[in-house]
Structure 1
Amino acid sequence: MTDSSKPTSFWRKYFKMPHTFVLLVILTLLAAALTYLVPSGEFERAKDPTSGKTLVVPNSYHAVEGDPVSLVEVPKAIVKGLIDSSDIVFFIFIIGGAFQVITATGTIEAVTSRVAKTFSKRGIMIIPVFLGLFSVGGFTMGMSSEVMVFVPLGIAIARSLGYDALTGTAMVSLGASIGFTAGLMNPFNVGLAQVIAEVPMFSGMWLRAILLITLLVITSWYIIRYARRVQKNPQASIVHNLENASTEKKLDLNSLPSLELKHILTVLTIVASFALLIWGVSKKDWWMEELSALFLTMGVVSGFCARFGPSRIASEFVKGASAITFGAFIIGIARSILIVLDQGNVIDTIVFGLSDAVGHLHGSIQVLGMYFFQTVMNVFITSGTGLAATTMPIMVPLADLLGVTRQTSVLAFQMGDGFTNMILPTSSALMGSLAVSGITYQQWVKFMWPLMLMWVITGAVFVLIGHAIAYS
Structure 2
Amino acid sequence: MNNTNTKKKMAFPHTLIIILIMIVFAAVLTYLIPAGQYDRIEVAGRNVVDPASYHMVDANPASLFDIFTAIPSGMKAVASIANMVLIIGGSFAVIEATGATKAMLAKVLKMGGHLGAALLPLVIIAFSMLPAFTGNAESMLAFVPLGILFARTLGFDAMVGVSITIAAGNAGFASGLFNTMTTGVAQTLLGIEMFSGLWFRAVGYILLLCSVCFWTVWYAMRVKKNPAKSCCYDVELAAQADAGQVNEIDSQLTTRRLLVLVEFAAGIGCVIYGALNGWDFGTQIAAVFLIMAIVCGLTGGFNGNQICDEFVAGARRVLVGALVVGFAKAISLVMDQAFITDTIVYAFSSLLSGMPKVIGALFMYIFQVIMNCFIISGSGQAAATIPIMGPLGDVLGLTPQTVVTAFIFGDGLTNLLLPMSAATMGAVAIAGITYGQYVKYIWRIILTNLCIGGAMVVIATMIHL
Shift of 1:210: 8.8
Residue in 2 aligned with 1:46?
A: 41
Q: What amino acid sits opposite 1:117 in the alignment?
A: K
Residues 400 and 299 (structure 1), Cα distance of their counterparts in 2 relative to 1, 3 Å cut: farther
1:86 aligns to 2:57 (yes or no) = no
Report if the CA contact (8 A) 2:267-2:288 is conserved: yes
Q: What amino acid sits opposite 2:62 in the alignment?
A: V
Residues 95 and 130 (structure 1), Cα distance of their counterparts in 2 relative to 1, 3 Å cut: same
Residue in 2 aligned with 1:349?
A: 343
Distance 1:105 1:93 in 2: 19
1:276-300 Cα deviation digits (max 9, x unpaired): 3343344465453222222222222
Shift of 1:392: 9.4
Residue in 1 aligned with 2:255?
A: 261
Residue in 2 aligned with 1:412?
A: 413
1:69 aligns to 2:62 (yes or no) = yes
Residues 46 and 428 (structure 1), Cα distance of their counterparts in 2 relative to 1, 3 Å cut: same
Unaligned 5+ residue runs, structure 2?
129-138, 186-194, 230-244, 391-402, 426-431
1:273-328 Cα deviation digits (max 9, x unpaired): 34333433444654532222222222222223322222222222222222221111
Report if the CA contact (8 A) 2:375-2:381 is conserved: no
Distance 1:240 1:67 in 2: 51
Shift of 1:453: 7.1
Alignment of structure 1 residues 26-425 onto 2, 5 Å:
26-49=21-44, 52-120=45-113, 125-129=115-119, 132-133=122-123, 140-141=140-141, 153-155=153-155, 169=156, 174=160, 176-183=162-169, 257-283=251-277, 286=280, 288-358=282-352, 364-366=361-363, 368-369=365-366, 397-398=384-385, 401-403=388-390, 408=409, 411-415=412-416
Report if the CA contact (8 A) 1:180-1:186 is conserved: no
Structure-1-length-normalised TM-score:
0.63
Structure-2-length-normalised TM-score:
0.64
1:80-109 Cα deviation digits (max 9, x unpaired): 222232232222222222222222222332
1:21 aligns to 2:16 (yes or no) = yes
Report if the CA contact (8 A) 2:92-2:314 is conserved: yes
Shift of 1:74: 1.9
Distance 2:117 2:455 in 1: 25
Q: What amino acid sits opposite 2:433 in the alignment?
A: S
Shift of 1:132: 3.8
Report if the CA contact (8 A) 2:83-2:282 is conserved: no
Shift of 1:367: 6.1
Report if the CA contact (8 A) 1:21-1:333 is conserved: yes
Q: What amino acid sits opposite 1:30 in the alignment?
A: F
Residues 297 and 39 (structure 1), Cα distance of their counterparts in 2 relative to 1, 3 Å cut: same
Distance 2:69 2:184 in 1: 26
Shift of 1:335: 1.8
Structure 2 counterpart SS, 1:353: helix
CA RMSD of aligned residues (A): 5.5
Q: What amino acid sits opposite 1:397 in the alignment?
A: A
Report if the CA contact (8 A) 1:178-1:212 is conserved: no
Shift of 1:29: 1.6
Q: What amino acid sits opposite 1:268 in the alignment?
A: V
Residues 60 and 219 (structure 1), Cα distance of their counterparts in 2 relative to 1, 3 Å cut: closer
Residues 152 and 176 (structure 1), Cα distance of their counterparts in 2 relative to 1, 3 Å cut: closer
Distance 1:461 1:318 in 2: 47
Shift of 1:259: 3.1
Shift of 1:217: 6.2
Identity %: 24
Distance 1:22 1:241 in 2: 27
Residue in 2 aligned with 1:428?
A: 433
Distance 2:324 2:352 in 1: 30
Shift of 1:142: 6.1
Residues 24 and 460 (structure 1), Cα distance of their counterparts in 2 relative to 1, 3 Å cut: same
1:143-164 Cα deviation digits (max 9, x unpaired): 6698777767535xxxxxxxxx
- Counting matched residue pairs gives 396
Report if the CA contact (8 A) 1:331-1:389 is conserved: no
Shift of 1:413: 3.4
Report if the CA contact (8 A) 1:80-1:336 is conserved: yes
Residue in 2 aligned with 1:383?
A: none
